[in-house]
Amino acid sequence: MSIKTLQALNNNAPAPETTAEAAPATLDAGATPHLVEPAVLSEPPARRRTGRGLLLGATAVVLIAATAYYGHNYWTVGRFEIATDDAYVKADNTTVAPKVSGYIAEVLVSDNAVVKAGQPLARIDDRDFRAALDQTKADVAAAEATLNAKQASLDIQQSTIAAARATVEVDKANETFAEQNNKRYANLATNGYAPVQTAQQAASTIAAAQATITRDTAALDAAVKQVELLNAELAQARATLAHDQAVQHQAELNLSYATITAPVDGTIGNRTLRIGQYVQAGTQLMSVVPTSAVYVIANYKETQLTDVRAGQPVDIEVDTFPGRTYHGHVDSLAPASGQEFALLPPDNATGNFTKVVQRIPVKIVLDAEAANGDLRPGMSVQPSIDTKADADRK
C-alpha cells in the first residue's frame, strides 16, 4: 500500500485506484503485484449520534405519554374500581325429590335438558295409588249414604214428634169432654133423671182420658229425646264423611305426586334416576338450575369494602368468554365473613395470633340483558365495582 493511499484513508477520502500498471516502484524485481481493494466507508460519528438521540427522544415521549395516560386513567377511574378474582357464579338450585315412594315407571327428561315450571320430569308407578283412591271413594260413598239415612231418620222423628203432640192434644180434648159428661150425668143422676151407673161410667171415662194423656205425653217426651240421639248420630256421620273425604283428598294428592314435575324454570343437572329404580320419598333424583337467574358471589378483602354500597355498578369478566363484559350491580354484603359460618370457626383467643385479612362475600346481581343463560354456576369471574359516585360524595 502506498503512502498516498494511507493518507487518503486517514483523511476519510477515497483512496486512489491502484492497478497493476500503477504498482509501486519499490517492488522487487520478479514479485507479483497485488490489487488493492477499495476501503469500506462507515457512517460519520456525528450522524450516528443524531439518529440515536432522535430514537431516545421519541422513546421518552412515548413513555411520558403512556405514563400520563395511565396515571390520568388511574386517578379518574382506576382507583375507584374494586376488583377481585375470588368470585364465582352462583344460582339457587332446586333439588327434585319425590313426595311418595315407588318404582320409577317413566323418565321424561334427559341430562342438561331445559324445562319449564310444572313440566313433568318422571312418573312413578301409580297403580297402587289408583287402587287406594278407588277405595277411599267407596268409603266416601258409604259415609254419604249413612249420613243421608241419619238425616232421613231425623226427619221421620220430627214427624213422629208432631204426631205425638197431636195425640196428646186429642187426649186433652177427650178429657175435657169426659169431664163435661161426668158433670152433666152427675147432675142428672142426683135429680133422678139418669141412672147412677151412667154417672159412674162418665167418671171412669175421665180417669181413662187422663191416663191416656199421661201415656201419650210420655211417648212425646221419648220422641223428643230420640231427636237428640239422632242429632248425635247425624253429627258422627258427618264427621265420618269428612274423614273419608280427607282420606280421598290425600289419595288424590298421592296419585298426583306420582308425576314428578319441575318446581321452577331451569336446566336439569345431576340426574340420577333410572327406569325401574325404587325411590323413597325425599330421595334426591335431580336438580333444576335456574340459569336465567344466576348471580355472582365475590369474596372481597375487608380492606376493599370501604366505599362499596348496594346498587353500585359492576363490570364482570368471565374466564369462559374472554373479551366479553357483563354488567350488574351490587345487591348486598354478607352479614359476616366466610369463616364465621364455618363448621369450626377459629378461636383467636388462644395460641399464637397471626392477623389474616378476612374476606366478606358480596352478592352481585346481573342486569336483565346480562342474564341470558350463558353463565353457569361455578364459573370463575372477575368483577370490578365502580365506587366513584360514593367516593366523590365524601
Instruction: Report the pLDDT value the prediction gives residue 194, as an integer from 0 to 100.
Output: 60
Domain boundaries, the chain: 82-92+290-392, 94-116+260-287, 127-257
pLDDT in tens, 194-207: 666 666 676 778 88
8 Å CB contact between 185 and 126: no
Instruction: Report the pLDDT value the prediction gives residue 20, as an integer from 0 to 100.
Output: 40
Which CATH superfamily hosts domain 127-257?
Helix Hairpins (1.10.287.620)
For the 82-92+290-392 domain, the top CATH level (class) is: mainly beta
Q: Across-strand partners of 93?
A: none
What percentage of the chain reaches a pLDDT higher than 70?
77
Q: Across-strand partners of 102?
A: 279
pLDDT in tens, 332-390: 999 999 888 888 877 777 767 788 899 999 999 998 766 677 899 999 999 999 988 66
Nearby residues of 246 by Cβ (< 8 Å), 6 or more positions away: none
| pLDDT lower than 50: segments of the chain | 1-32, 34-36, 39-41
Instruction: Report the pLDDT value the prediction gives residue 391, as an integer from 0 to 100.
Output: 60
Q: Is 392 exposed, middle or buried (0-12, 13-18, 19+ CB in 10 A)?
A: exposed
pTM: 0.64
Instruction: Report the pLDDT value the prediction gives residue 13, as an integer from 0 to 100.
Output: 43
C-alpha cell at 38: 477499495
Place of cell 498516498: 4
Task: Given CATH 2.40.50.100, say whether it is the number of domain 94-116+260-287.
Answer: yes
Instruction: Report the pLDDT value the prediction gives residue 292, as an integer from 0 to 100.
Output: 87
pLDDT in tens, 139-152: 999 999 999 999 99
The answer to whether 82-92+290-392 and 127-257 have equal CATH topology is no
pLDDT in tens, 41-52: 455 565 566 777
